[in-house]
Amino acid sequence: MRMFGRKKQQLPERHEHIEANLANSTIYVKDLQKVYPSPKGDVTAMKDVNVNVLENEFVCIVGPSGCGKSTLLRMIAGLDEATEGQIVIHDRDIMGPGADRGMVFQSYTLFPWMTVAENIKFGLKIKNMPPQEQDIIADKYLKIIKLEKFRDSYPKELSGGMKQRVAIARALANSPEVLLMDEPFSALDPQTRADMQLLMRQIWQEEKPTVIFVTHDIEEAVFLSSKIYVLTSRPGTVKKAVPVLLPGERDLSLKDTEQFIKLRKEVNLLIEHESL
């Protein structure tokens, strides 16, 4: 069963921000549209959304609230259905959720009856991976998120930031083709949030996962990503894809550099025009 019909057969006009080398792309979103039925008639929440995410790319999606950035991510995850359009991951049309697209949610979603290690191993267990291999992978990611000491703790013993670190480890341990992150740090305090951004950037430097990260925090987007998609307000569509030409190795002092501030202002301006 096809989930999304391809109704528009004519070639779409080339969006300048979509790189021509689609062969390289991990996720390819084409002419996506989302319409909600309502008593007053259909509401178009999103239309003509085109996104292209390359292998090992860290892409952030920002936009005014209500622009559908989280919905877009959930559609890529297969948790939400598009009304029209196409989402392709490595040449396959996506049909519902799957282990190839790991996700970290805004809310805390660790399984509370499992220890930290058991949470990280959940996806591997589902795949029937031999227990020894599961342990090796769990240990590797416990080290990456610096929570070795909490291996056998239950989620209730962890702080919010620690929970999200485990959620990231749990998704990555499953070696997904793309890691989807839906405002994962928005419930954290500013200090923890900055620490998490730094850790996330380090993880990306070392592991080079393909990431799509939704946030409403522009500074966060600029700091983390290699490319930012700015969405317009409802009906949400891609306003601009902004390449983030900053050094690969990043630390928090980057946020004070002229280059960074300039980029942040540029993205800010794009969104401000939308909120008016």
Partner 1 sequence: MIKIKIRKAVKKKKYIFLAAMAFLAVFLIWWAVSGTGAVKEIFLPKPSSVLQYYVGAIQDGSLWENTRISVIRITLGFLIAVVLGIPVGILAGTFKKIEAVIRPLCEFIRYMPVPAFVPLIMVWVGIGESAKVTVIFIGTFFQLVLMVADDAMAVPDDLINAGYTLGADTKKAVFRIMIPAMLPRLMETLRMMIGWAWTYLVSAELVAANTGLGYTILKSQRFLKTDAIFGGILLIGLLGLITDRIFAFLNKKLFPWVEGGK
Interacting residues with partner 1 (CB under 8 A): 77-79, 96-99, 101-103, 105, 107, 109, 111-113, 122-123, 126-127, 154-156, 167, 170-171, 174, 176, 180
For partner 1, the closer CB: 85 or 102: 102
Angle, in degrees to the nearest 10, between helices 160-173 and 116-126? 20
Q: In angstroms, rounded to a whole number, what is the distance separating the alpha carbons of residues 58 and 202? A: 12
Query: Taking the complex as a whole, how short is the minimal distance between the CB of residue 253 and partner 1, in angstroms?
Result: 34
For partner 1, the closer CB: 93 or 272: 93
For partner 1, the closer CB: 173 or 203: 173
Query: Taking the complex as a whole, how short is the minimal distance between the CB of residue 159 and partner 1, in angstroms?
Result: 13
For partner 1, the closer CB: 107 or 259: 107
Query: Taking the complex as a whole, how short is the minimal distance between the CB of residue 76 and partner 1, in angstroms?
Result: 10
Query: Taking the complex as a whole, how short is the minimal distance between the CB of residue 77 and partner 1, in angstroms?
Result: 6
For partner 1, the closer CB: 114 or 198: 114
For partner 1, the closer CB: 36 or 111: 111
Query: Taking the complex as a whole, how short is the minimal distance between the CB of residue 240 and partner 1, in angstroms?
Result: 29
For partner 1, the closer CB: 79 or 198: 79
- Closest to 110 in 3D by CA, of 155, 146, 171, 173: 155
Query: Taking the complex as a whole, how short is the minimal distance between the CB of residue 195 and partner 1, in angstroms?
Result: 23
Q: In angstroms, rounded to a whole number, what is the distance separating the alpha carbons of residues 63 and 69? A: 7
Query: Taking the complex as a whole, how short is the minimal distance between the CB of residue 237 and partner 1, in angstroms?
Result: 25
